[in-house]
């Protein structure tokens, strides 16, 4: 399995704090040693940092952790390989162009009998079920919307329907972004949190780092973070249900296919033995 | 205008030395302040480092300069904007997938009346003539070779023909790679050099750095470097002619559309005032 991390924000925001927690799980507090990647959108452009090395030992991850790149949409992934070798072409996220936009995708899970999925002109380069399913999704989208769709929300709903079909082939937790929207689909492990004023402090579960968001933000900032497991121990993360689809737009969750969202009991989260910091 | 840097090698080789010279021209010894990028292939996979900031002031360029990433095919670019704003989506190189391979492209020059070029399903994301011409090239290729071509050399010859047409629209110095081949097309400024045993020392023109390749290589290494302007002062770089097309494959130039290649007179290159190191 792997771990996913995503962010949607209404103002360009850096993800250094959350990323610092995530990369510890890449070979240190977690077993996800088989590479990592992170894609930052800036306007319509993006940049991706990738390494097939464990994130906890990666010089490039160190740069990303210490060099604040501000973005409104981020997709990140640390890998524990199941399908496909450990190499760069199999390292998430994957980015392709459709309708004159760059689409970035990352997946956590494993599919069976995926080889039959028809990907049309979007050919996978690596051997992962993840990249192949992404190519299949893009092929489905281009077939249904030969021209850029006007109603993006309807388009994402269609992606969610496609994910529902993929779910029948196995575990399919995914994130998809075009730099403006961040979409998630969950089959088992995915949590989200939206931070807004009044901001407080938060402490990472995987490293002794506490941040006071009040010092880092303005009262109008709205930032949502999505992760395979909660990254902080003193905040309430919402657990996504199996089959749940969510769409984030500049920080706000603008729709979801379920009404009631299950809250994470603090007990469900395993904080480090350190004394918890002031709770929000 | 901009500057291009490319490398083709028969064993994974780092480009730190040449890149160190190039990035000085990004706002320091040269006027190319409008961003930079570099793509390293590793097998079928690739990673790109990009920054809209001047390379001479970029933290990410500093990492690339000091962290040796070994690759058999590299394409790099520093930008002085003429078409399109200074932002990430307009920063070269550009990478797209075709035939299940990633294709990476960078361009130096300027085109007129390029808006009419038909790009089919390869839609540009940014506003540059460069990205649009790349999309047009891919569209031409996919139209001529709907399936992956068996004869890659013939395919690159076709790219060269397309470049010949683009040359009619302006200045079109370009580099194209799929990680195995590095192709170049020249309309005015492009130089190349192939280094092989016996290796000697080389000194950068843009920075006081001298390297002894003998200490960095094995006798079987073959490495070709292509650049808009020679990067070293004590080696003989070959100047490409207008309309010249060259194809490099794992370090060796395997074909060219001209027989006689013009050598650069040492005088044409402006070495720094420093004493030249031992010549090869």
User: Of B120-129, B203-212, B245-254, where does mean pLDDT reach its minimum?
Assistant: B203-212
Q: How high does pLDDT run on average in chain A?
A: 89
CATH 3.60.20.10 fits A3-265, yes or no: yes
pLDDT score at B103: 98
pLDDT of B14 strictly over 60: yes
Interface of B with A (CB under 8 A): 42-52, 59-60, 63, 67, 87-91, 96-97, 99-102, 121-126, 142
Mean pLDDT of A146-154: 95
Mean pLDDT of A163-175: 96
- Cα separation, A5 vs A176, whole angstroms: 11
- Cα separation, A20 vs A22, whole angstroms: 6
pLDDT score at A263: 39
pLDDT score at B33: 87
pLDDT score at B271: 35
Nearest CA-CA partner of B270 in B237, B222, B224: B237
So where are chain A's domains?
A: 3-265
Quickly state the pLDDT bin for A26 (edges 50, 70, 90).
confident
Nearest CA-CA partner of B160 in B93, B257, B261, B259: B257
Quickly state the pLDDT bin for A102 (edges 50, 70, 90).
very high
Q: What stretch of H or E contains A59?
A: helix A59-66
Quickly state the pLDDT bin for B182 (edges 50, 70, 90).
very high
User: Does A46 sit within 8 Å of B97, measured CB to CB?
Assistant: no
pLDDT score at B107: 97
The answer to whether A104 and A46 have CB atoms below 8 angstroms apart is: yes
- Cα separation, B145 vs B161, whole angstroms: 15
Of the segments A75-79, B103-107, B214-218, which one has the largest average pLDDT value?
A: B103-107
End-to-end CA distance of chain A: 31
Question: Could you tell me which residues are beta bridge partners of residue A227?
Answer: A5, A191
User: Of A34-43, A223-232, B52-61, B235-244, where does mean pLDDT reach its minimum?
Assistant: B52-61
User: Does B50 sit within 8 Å of A47, measured CB to CB?
Assistant: yes
- How far does the CA of residue B61 sit from the closest CA of chain A (Å)? 11
pLDDT of B225 strictly over 70: yes
pLDDT score at B269: 35
pLDDT score at A129: 95
Reported as a single tens digit per residue, the pLDDT across A234-259 is: 999 999 999 999 999 999 999 998 64
pLDDT score at B259: 47
Q: Could you tell me the two tokens for A47? A: 């940049």
Residue of chain B whose Cα is closest to the Cα of A66 = B59
Nearest CA-CA partner of B54 in B29, B83, B82, B18: B29
Mean pLDDT of A253-267: 58
Percent of chain A past pLDDT 90, that is, above it, reads 76
- Per CB-CB distance under 8 Å, the chain B contacts of A64 are none
Q: How high does pLDDT run on average in chain B?
A: 89
Q: Is the pLDDT higher at A202 or at B1?
A: A202
- Cα separation, A22 vs A56, whole angstroms: 9
- How far does the CA of residue A134 sit from the closest CA of chain B (Å)? 13
**How many A-B residue pairs are in contact by the CB < 8 A criterion?**
78
**Catalytic positions of A, please?**
2
pLDDT score at A258: 66
Tell me, letter by letter, the H, E, C secondary structure of B207-218.
Answer: CCCEEEHHHHCC
Q: Which of A45, A52, A89 sits opposite B126 (nearest CB)?
A: A45
Q: Which of A88, A96, A142 sits opposite B47 (nearest CB)?
A: A88
pLDDT score at A1: 67
- How far does the CA of residue A213 sit from the closest CA of chain B (Å)? 25
Reported as a single tens digit per residue, the pLDDT across B52-108 is: 989 888 999 999 999 999 999 999 999 888 888 999 999 999 999 999 999 999 999
Max Cα distance, chain A (Å): 55
pLDDT of B10 strictly over 90: yes
pLDDT of B265 strictly over 80: no
pLDDT of A260 strictly over 70: no
Provide the b/e sequence for A37-48 (b: ≥16 CB within 10 Å): bbbbbbbbbbbb
The interface predicted TM-score (ipTM) is: 0.89
Quickly state the pLDDT bin for B147 (edges 50, 70, 90).
very high
Which of A89, A128, A178 has the most B C-beta neighbours within 10 Å, making it the best mutation to test the interface with B? A89
């Amino acid at each position: 399995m792997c771990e996913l991390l995503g962010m949607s924000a209404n103002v360009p925001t850096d993800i250094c704090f959350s990323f610092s927690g995530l990369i510890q799980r890449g070979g240190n507090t977690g077993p996800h040693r088989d590479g990592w990647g992170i894609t930052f959108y800036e306007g319509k452009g993006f940049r991706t940092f990738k390494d097939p090395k464990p994130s906890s030992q990666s010089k490039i991850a160190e740069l990303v952790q210490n060099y604040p790149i501000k973005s409104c949409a981020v997709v990140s992934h640390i890998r524990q390989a199941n399908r496909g070798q450990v190499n760069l072409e199999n390292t998430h996220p994957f980015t392709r162009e459709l309708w004159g936009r760059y689409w970035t995708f990352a997946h956590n899970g494993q599919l069976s009998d995926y080889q039959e999925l028809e990907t049309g002109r979007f050919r996978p380069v690596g051997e992962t079920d993840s990249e192949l399913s992404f190519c299949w999704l893009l092929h489905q989208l281009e077939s249904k919307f030969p021209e850029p769709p006007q109603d993006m929300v309807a388009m994402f709903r269609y992606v969610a329907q496609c994910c529902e079909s993929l779910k029948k082939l196995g575990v399919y937790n995914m994130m998809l972004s075009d730099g403006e929207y961040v979409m998630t689909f969950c089959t088992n492990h995915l949590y989200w949190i939206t931070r807004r004023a009044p901001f407080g402090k938060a402490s990472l579960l995987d490293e002794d780092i506490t941040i006071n968001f009040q010092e880092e933000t303005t009262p109008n900032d709205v930032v949502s973070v999505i992760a395979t497991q909660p990254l902080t121990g003193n905040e309430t993360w919402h657990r996504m249900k199996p089959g749940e689809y969510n769409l984030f737009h500049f920080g706000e969750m603008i729709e979801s296919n379920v009404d009631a969202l299950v809250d994470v009991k603090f007990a469900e989260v395993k904080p480090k033995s350190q004394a918890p910091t002031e709770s929000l």
